[in-house]
Amino acid sequence: MELQITATSPDHPADLLDLPWQTPLEDWPDEHLVALPRGISRHVVRFVRAGGEVFAVKEVGEFSALREYELLRDLDRLGVPAVDPVAIVTGRSDPAGEELTPVLVTRLLNGSMPYRAMFETTMRPSTIKRLLDALAVLLVRLHLAGFAWGDCSLSNTLFRRDAGAFAAYLVDAETGQIQPRLTDGQRDYDLEVARLNIAGELMDLEAGGSLHPSIDAIQSGQEIVDRYSQLWYELTRPSVYPKEKRHYIERRIRRLNDMGFDVAEMQIQRSEDHGDGDTVTFVPKVVDAGHHQRQLLRLTGLDAEENQARSLLNDLETWMATQEDYAPGDKLGARPEVLAHRWVRDVFRPAVRAIPLRLRGDAEPAQLYHELLEHRWQLSEKAGEDVGMPATAEDYVRTVLTTA
C-alpha cells in the first residue's frame, strides 16, 4: 500500500511524514506523544508533536475520516466553533504489509479541556451552569449554520476559558450533516440526544463522586433543552427595527442578559424589504465574573464595576455596529480599539460633561454614564422611540438630579 496524506495546508505534510504511520496508533512510542487530558472516545486518539505543533490523531475508517474532514472544513468556512482539520492519512500498513486504519489529524485547540478533565476537582454549580450554557450556544450556532450534529454530548465537546469567556467547540463531527436549513424535527432530535447524553454523562460523574451534590443530572439534561429553546427563540425571531425605535435593540440585549448570555457580536444591516428598517443579528456568548471589567478597561481605558462595565459595553457594541467602518472579522474594517476610542471621545465624554460638576456628587464617570443609559432606556420605552443621549442628559439633570 502507498501512504497518502491529504492536507489543508502545504506546510504540514512534510512534518507529518516524520510520524510512525507504520505502527498502530495505540502502540506509538512516547517520543512522539504529548501528555494531555483526553476525553472518552470510541476511537483510538493520541496527541502528538510534529514540526513544533501539537495535533490530535484519531484512527477511524477511511469513509468516516474523509466525511468528517470535509464537514470540519465546512464548519470552519461557516465560522462555527470546531476543531481545525489538518489532514487525512490513508494507505497505512505495518512492516508485514497488514493494512492499518486511516487517521484524521486535527490541530490542538490551545487552552481547551475535555469535560472529564474539568471535573477532576469538584466544580462549583455556577461554573457547571456556564459550561452547559456554552454547549447550548454551540448547538444553536450549529443549527443556525444548518449543521445537524446527531451526537451532541459533553464527550464530543471541548471547553475553553478565554479572558473570562466560556466557549464550547465541536470536536467530533462524524455523525453530522450540513443542509441549507434544518427542520424542526432535526433540531428536536439533536436536543433529545443532547438531553439523554448529558444526563447520562453527569450521572456517571455523580457515581464517581466528581459532581457537586447540588447538581441534579436528570434536571441538567432538561435545562440545556430549555436554555437552547430560549436562546433559539431570542436569536431567530423577526428583528427588523425602524430607525426611530433603536431602543428596541437595547431591549433585545437586556433579554439576552437576563437569560445569562452576553452579546459577542452584533451586526446591523439596512433591510431592503422593510424600507428604512434595520435587521439586527446577534451572536451570544457565555462569560465569567469580571469579564466586562477587563474588556472595558482593555478597549477604552475606563475602570468600572462589573455591572457598570456590562452596561457600557452593551452601549459601545450597539454604537459600533452603526458605524460605517465597523466590519467584524474584516481586515479592512476599523479595529475595535479604534472605534472604542472614538466612542469615548464622541459619545461617552460629551454625555458625562452634560452633567454639571455641582450635581455629580461622588459618582464616578462610569456610574454617571450607566445612570444615563438607564434613564434613556426608561424615556425611550415611554416615548416609544429612541430619545437620544443629549435629550436624556437634559431630562436627567432636570428631573432627577435637581430634585434629589
pLDDT digits (tens, 9 = 90+) for 64-89: 999 999 999 999 888 888 999 999 99
Mean pLDDT of the 241-250 span? 68
- Measure the CA–CA gap between 393 and 99, rounded to whole angstroms: 75
DSSP 372: H
| pLDDT level of residue 131 (50, 70, 90 thresholds) | confident
Q: Are residues 224 and 253 in the same domain?
A: no
Q: Are residues 374 and 335 in the same domain?
A: yes
Q: Pick the residue with more confidence: 352 or 283? A: 352
Q: Are residues 395 and 275 in the same domain?
A: yes
Q: Are residues 95 and 174 in the same domain?
A: no
Q: Are residues 255 and 269 in the same domain?
A: yes
Mean pLDDT, the chain, integer: 84
Domain count, the chain: 3
Indicate the range of 38-47, 134-143, 210-219, 271-280 predicted with least confidence.
271-280
pLDDT tens track for 285-310: 666 556 788 889 889 999 888 778 88
pLDDT tens track for 202-237: 999 888 888 888 889 999 999 999 989 988 888 777
Burial per residue of 306-332, b for 16 or more beta-carbon CB atoms within 10 angstroms, e otherwise: eebbbbbbbbbbbbbbeeeebeeeeee
Report the pLDDT value the prediction gives residue 245, as an integer from 0 to 100. Answer: 65
> Is residue 158 over pLDDT 60?
yes
Q: Cell digits for 235?
A: 436569536
120: CATH: 1.10.510.10
Report the pLDDT value the prediction gives residue 253, as an integer from 0 to 100. Answer: 77
> Of 44, 73, 108, which closes a domain?
108
Mean pLDDT of the 195-200 span? 95
Report the pLDDT value the prediction gives residue 246, as an integer from 0 to 100. Answer: 66
> Is residue 340 over pLDDT 70?
yes
Mean pLDDT of the 21-29 span? 90
Cβ contact 168:134 at 8 Å: yes
Q: Pick the residue with more confidence: 190 or 120? A: 190
Report the pLDDT value the prediction gives residue 286, as an integer from 0 to 100. Answer: 62
Q: Cell digits for 299?
A: 478597549
Cβ contact 336:299 at 8 Å: yes
> Is residue 272 over pLDDT 80?
no
Report the pLDDT value the prediction gives residue 186, as an integer from 0 to 100. Answer: 96
Task: Look at phi and psi of residue 79 and say left if phi exceeds 0, alpha if psi is from -120 to 50, else beta.
Answer: left
Q: Are residues 178 and 288 in the same domain?
A: no
| pLDDT level of residue 196 (50, 70, 90 thresholds) | very high
Q: Are residues 207 and 267 in the same domain?
A: no
Q: Are residues 132 and 56 in the same domain?
A: no
Report the pLDDT value the prediction gives residue 219, as an integer from 0 to 100. Answer: 93
Q: Are residues 212 and 340 in the same domain?
A: no
Q: Are residues 174 and 298 in the same domain?
A: no
pLDDT tens track for 88-105: 999 899 888 889 999 999
Q: Pick the residue with more confidence: 327 or 18? A: 18
Report the pLDDT value the prediction gives residue 303, as an integer from 0 to 100. Answer: 86
- Measure the CA–CA gap between 298 and 275, rounded to whole angstroms: 38
Report the pLDDT value the prediction gives residue 306, as an integer from 0 to 100. Answer: 77
- Measure the CA–CA gap between 317 and 312, rounded to whole angstroms: 9
> Is residue 162 over pLDDT 60?
no
> Of 71, 92, 108, which closes a domain?
108
H or E segment to which residue 242 belongs: strand 240-242
| pLDDT level of residue 331 (50, 70, 90 thresholds) | low
Sign of the alpha-carbon torsion through 347, 350, 354, 359: positive
Q: Pick the residue with more confidence: 248 or 1? A: 248
Percent of residues, the chain, with pLDDT higher than 90: 35
Structural domain for 189, as ranges: 113-235
> Of 190, 205, 235, which closes a domain?
235
Q: Are residues 257 and 336 in the same domain?
A: yes
Report the pLDDT value the prediction gives residue 256, as an integer from 0 to 100. Answer: 76
Indicate the range of 58-72, 267-281, 384-398 predicted with least confidence.
267-281
Q: Are residues 149 and 103 in the same domain?
A: no
